[in-house]
Each structure stands twice: as structure tokens, then as C-alpha cells.
Chains A and B, each alone.
Chain A
Amino acid sequence: MKLCSVFIKKISIISLFMSLILSLNVWAKRVEYIVELKDHLFSPSVIKIPANEKIKLIIYNRDTTPEEFDSFDLNREKVIFPNKKAVIFIGPLPEGKYQFFGEFNPNSAKGTIVVTSTPERNKRVKPLQENKPGGA
């Protein structure tokens, strides 16, 4: 009973603390990296991002079929509908290579996130046209 009470109190404190953190996080501007998926290929397929920093990966699906971004390394799964874009938040991560692939076309749709101290901050693929958000 005592253990239960302590546990509940701790959960309460954690939940309040997290609400505060969440409110601060809303103001943080994320570095954006843009990737296109066309003919079931990610372009660029290698994305260099900074270590220990949260980034925003925006994927535009130019194909007429849906794709599911999947990565056990990154602990992310996200459906990207045809002609839509999806936003995936990655990091903060230590330096290393993190593989990802498209679940519907795993042989062609694959890539690597390289977390490095020398990221390509300005090397972004400019989208050919703006897609509406459609991932989830």
C-alpha cells in the first residue's frame, strides 16, 4: 500500500513536470531536413544531421502509392500517403548511422541517417511542389 502511494505520487510529479517541459519545447525551432520519395527511392538517401539535437525530417511522397517510413534504429514508424508529406521528429541522438526503409518497398526505398558533428545544415532538397500534410 505504501509502495503504491509512493508510486502514484511520483507519477503525479512526473506528469506535471512533463507538462512544463512540453510548454517550453513548443518554442524550440527545429532544424528541417527535406527528403523526397519518388519511384520508391528516397532522395537524398543519406542525410547527415547534428549529434545531440532534435531535427524535423519532412518527407514528400511523390509516388501514387502510400509508403511507411520504418526504422528500428530510430524507433520511428510513419505512414506517408501518396502526394502528401509527413513530418518525422528525430533525435537527439549520439553520433552513428541509423538505417531506415519503406515498409512497402523495402528493396528500393531505403536510406541512412548519419548523425555527425559536421552535419549538412544547408544541404536540403527543395521540393518541386508543396504537398499537403498527410502522414500520421
Chain B
Amino acid sequence: MKKALYALALLFNCFYSSFTFADGVVVDKVYHPYVLPNEKEVEWRLLSHQTDNTNDLAQRFAYGQSVFDNMMVELYIVGERDVDGNFGVSAYEIETRWMLTEQGEYWADWGMLFEVEKEHNKDSWEVTSGLLFEKEIGRTSLSINAFLIYEWGNDIQNEIEMEFRAQYRYRWLPQFQPAIELYSGEDYVGIGPAFMGIQRFAGQKQLKWELGFITGLNGKSKDHILRVAIEYEF
């Protein structure tokens, strides 16, 4: 485990110095490196991106379940509004989250994420691998995601991207936890407040919600993103 983490850290430095970046909105969700066994979930995410010239809308519907005690697989259908204002399926995705360390055992908690995405009716693929980090600091938690993304296909330019997401959360109440989020990728840096919470029901049933308002910092014009995520675990 120790060697693997050293390797990952070194790999991370190498990638930073070697690759060029690509365009794209990186705001989505900051992942936590934890998986519980016997967990099943359905999830809905919404992303509304407004600039002076555009008003994009994307939604994700997902089903996930843990396949091992420390691994969860999630299947997504992604829908987007096109230039004519019609909403339709735009992509499919499979994602695996792997909990590498026991929560609280070490100085920080670590996990990994692997993801494959294909655009609907296009020869456009994307594979993502990422490192998930979380550090508990008193009643606050710092979560950081670092992703390396490779895109390829006849309908997309082959390229490698990197993305970073960070969230600093105050665990005030289960139902209401304010946070600040930072997203970074080539040509985009965004920051803004986020709010999230969890409502527990009987057994393993629980409802998680997240709401974030992210403002792009690197453009002169309006660049606002609203993100919503609702997740029901059972």
C-alpha cells in the first residue's frame, strides 16, 4: 500500500510535467474515498451552465452498488440539451470507486476512481483514472480529487486532460453541511459555495443531497454553474 501511494504521487508529478491540457467544464461532484458493503444507490445529478452566450443543461441518472466490501460500481446515462433546445441521451458511463485505506487509520484516507464513457451515436470515448483523498480536520473534512482523462475516437480529438476538484466541508449537522468547492482544469478555474446533507431512514436507507454554485474565475464574461445531486441509498 505504501509503495503504491509513493508510485501514485510520483506518477502524479510526472503527468503534471508531461501533458498538455484540453478544454472542458470540470464541475461535477467531489468524490469521497469511502465505500460500504451491501450498498445500493440511485442518483440524479443536474448541471446548469450559463455564460453570456450559452445556457447548457446536463443531467445524469445512475444506479450503483457495491460489488466488494471496498469497491462500488455505478452505471450512468447522461442527458444533455442540444443547440435546438431538445433534451436527449448524450452518453453512457461506467464508474468504479475503490476504497484503498480504512477510514481514519492513516493520516488521510485514500481511494481511486476509474471511469469509461462513450458518447451516444458517436465514436467518442473517454477513460478516466483518479485519486481520491480525504482528510478529517476536527469537524471539517478536506476532499481532493485528481483525475487523468484520455479521450479518443473518430469524432473527438485524441488528447489527455487533467482535472482537480477540492471541497472543504464543515460537518455542522447531518442534514446541512456547508462547504466551499474549487474546480480546476485547462482553461477553467471555478470556485463557489456548496451545501450538502444526509437524511437517514430505517436500516441502510438514506437520502443525500448536494447543491453548489460555482463561478468561473478565468473569464471576463459571466460563467455560472449550478450543480445539484440527489442520491438515495438503500
Contact = CB atoms under 8 A, between A and B. Distances in A.
Interface string A1-45: 101100111011011101101110110000000000000000000
Contacts of B217: 3
A99 B95 CA distance: 34
Interface stretch (B7-15, B40-48, B114-122, B149-157): B7-15
A76 B36 contact: no
Binding site secondary structure of chain A: mixed
A22 to B, nearest CB: 5
B38 interface: yes
Contacts of B103: 75-78, 88-89
Contacts of B12: 11-12, 15
A89 B16 contact: no
B83 to A, nearest CB: 28
A1 B36 CA distance: 38
B171 A72 contact: yes
A8 B136 contact: no
Contact of A1 (B2, B104, B200, B218): B218
Given A11-B12, A15-B9, A103-B204, A54 B36 contact: no
Contacts of B136: 75
A72 B174 contact: yes
Contacts of B133: 14-15, 18
Nearest to B2: A23
Q: Which of B103, B141, B217 has the most CB of A within 10 A?
A: B103
Nearest to A7: B184
A16 B189 contact: no
B104 A12 contact: no
B229 to A, nearest CB: 19
B13 A89 contact: no
A94 B137 CA distance: 12
Contact of B5 (A4, A9, A22, A87): A22
A88 B37 contact: no
Given A26-B2, A77-B34, A79-B38, A87 B106 contact: no
B112 interface: no
Query: When A and B form their complex, which 5 residue pairs have the shortest distance between CB atoms, in order from nearest?
Result: A136-B69, A89-B104, A21-B107, A15-B9, A136-B37
Interface of A: 1, 3-4, 7-9, 11-12, 14-16, 18-19, 21-23, 25-26, 54, 66, 68, 70, 72, 75-79, 81, 87-91, 94, 103-104, 136
Interface of B: 1-2, 5-6, 8-10, 12-13, 16, 34-38, 69-70, 102-108, 131, 133, 136, 138, 141, 144, 146, 162, 164, 171, 174, 182, 184-187, 189, 200, 203-204, 217-218
